[in-house]
Structure 1
């Protein structure tokens, strides 16, 4: 084909048909430009096709992650709810008049003293951000998942900081005599029981425990509120992604 064009150019030049040669040259340039445009169009189509396939893959991964996030949050909320129930029962124990110190201490020990960090395990959003693939998603989805990821990070940090404060109060409780929560270990050791100054330690220990458990339950309620809000956001994002996958 190239030889054919060269032959035509040579023939036109030899015949001094300048105007025809220029017309031919322009036509050849147009053909080349059209060829380039077609090649670019095909390349762009292939690139767009690849991005669409990758985007759908990410959408499905996001759906899986969002469902996993909700399941994790619900388990955490259930665990915290159980702790709140134990605390409410402890508070109700004071409705009984004239509790002995031994009964009060035993009631204190019915509370859940464990603290749990909030740690989401899903990583698709972080992968999208770190790889730069976030840009292949629609702007609306980029906005909602970025905001959602920020909310997850904030609740993780908040829970960790609050738990550190709670654990400091728990350490203070231990220093005040938290060991006496195991009062049932001492009835057969009257001399040790006396040396521990049980009666003198009780007021400070109760105050320390109340400070700990009240703050802990305030933290738990905050966590439930924030996790419930995040779960609602996850639900809305799931619906947006499902609509996108149907296009």
Structure 2
């Protein structure tokens, strides 16, 4: 083909026809430019196709991450509700009672663990997308925006955990000045009662009929304080913690779960169907 064009150029030059030669040369340049543009367009198509295939793979992985996040949220949600219910039970049980009438073992059981687990967010996929620059290849701007907003929300929730942790530690410090944990059967009590009472999935657990609980009651351990004001301080600190748990359970965690579910739906509709 190159030889064919070369012969035409040579013939036009030999015939001393410069205008036709110039027109031909310009036409040849245009053809070359068009060829380059077509090649570039094909290359861009290939690059875009590869980018979208990569995004599709990331979407599958990110959906899995979000589904695991939802399970994490659900676990902590249940734990906070469980703690909140125990705080209500404790507050009611000590109301209008004299210090000697308050059960040490019940106080211990209701305040054994008042903090939920740290969140374990699955950020590996989103981190890879950001580091590889793939996040910018998501054509639907609303999806990439929601991904960023969801990630920012999880960091906000992490901050909430630190706040709740500080408040629970303050409450535990007050509790340690009130409750006597020195039971002879404390190991068995911890395994068979204290751990179970903090497991929201154990629906069949009944504290007041557990053998180790009943056994602990026979030791008749008393609270290590004689001042009812110490009890009030504990209850006040727990109620303050409960207020924040109510915010998590009634506002933040439902909203975060909804955001994750919406993202899953959008990613499936856009990349997996």
- Answer whether TM exceeds 0.5 for this pair: yes
Q: Secondary structure at the match of 2:103?
A: helix
| CA contact 1:159–1:219 (8 Å) conserved in 2 | no
Tell me the CA shift for residue 197 of structure 1: 10
| CA contact 2:59–2:267 (8 Å) conserved in 1 | yes
| CA contact 1:118–1:155 (8 Å) conserved in 2 | no
- Structure 1 pair 126/112, CA: closer, same or farther in 2 (3 Å)? farther
Instruction: Report 1:109-124 matches (<5 A).
Output: 109-114=108-113, 115-123=115-123, 124=125
Separation (CA, whole Å) in 1 of partners of 2:169 and 2:97:
31
Instruction: Report 1:25-40 matches (<5 A).
Output: 25-40=25-40
1:234 maps to what in 2?
Answer: 260
RMSD: 3.0
Q: Secondary structure at the match of 1:180?
A: coil
1:213 maps to what in 2?
Answer: 238
The TM-score, its normalising length taken from structure 1, stands at: 0.82
- Structure 1 pair 56/98, CA: closer, same or farther in 2 (3 Å)? closer
Separation (CA, whole Å) in 2 of partners of 1:31 and 1:197:
95
Instruction: Report 1:2-41 matches (<5 A).
Output: 2-41=2-41
**Are 2:151 and 1:149 aligned?**
yes
**Are 2:104 and 1:105 aligned?**
yes
Tell me the CA shift for residue 112 of structure 1: 3.6
Q: Give the stretch that moved more between structures: 63-72 or 209-218.
A: 209-218
| CA contact 1:102–1:183 (8 Å) conserved in 2 | no
Separation (CA, whole Å) in 2 of partners of 1:241 and 1:212:
43
| Corresponding residue pairs, total | 238
1:180 maps to what in 2?
Answer: 180
- Structure 1 pair 99/110, CA: closer, same or farther in 2 (3 Å)? farther
1:60 maps to what in 2?
Answer: 60
Point out the structure with the larger helix share: 1
- Structure 1 pair 227/106, CA: closer, same or farther in 2 (3 Å)? same
- Structure 1 pair 184/220, CA: closer, same or farther in 2 (3 Å)? farther
**Are 2:151 and 1:126 aligned?**
no
1:73 maps to what in 2?
Answer: 73
Cα deviation code 1:34-54 (max 9, x no counterpart): 210110111011011101101
Cα deviation code 1:122-173 (max 9, x no counterpart): 1122332333211111201011111111111101111212211321232244
Cα deviation code 1:13-39 (max 9, x no counterpart): 122011221122122112101210110
Separation (CA, whole Å) in 2 of partners of 1:92 and 1:179:
17
| CA contact 1:106–1:183 (8 Å) conserved in 2 | no
2:50 maps to what in 1?
Answer: 50
| CA contact 1:86–1:111 (8 Å) conserved in 2 | yes
Tell me the CA shift for residue 227 of structure 1: 1.0
1:245 maps to what in 2?
Answer: 271
Structure 1: stretches of 5+ with no match in the other structure: none
Separation (CA, whole Å) in 1 of partners of 2:131 and 2:163:
26
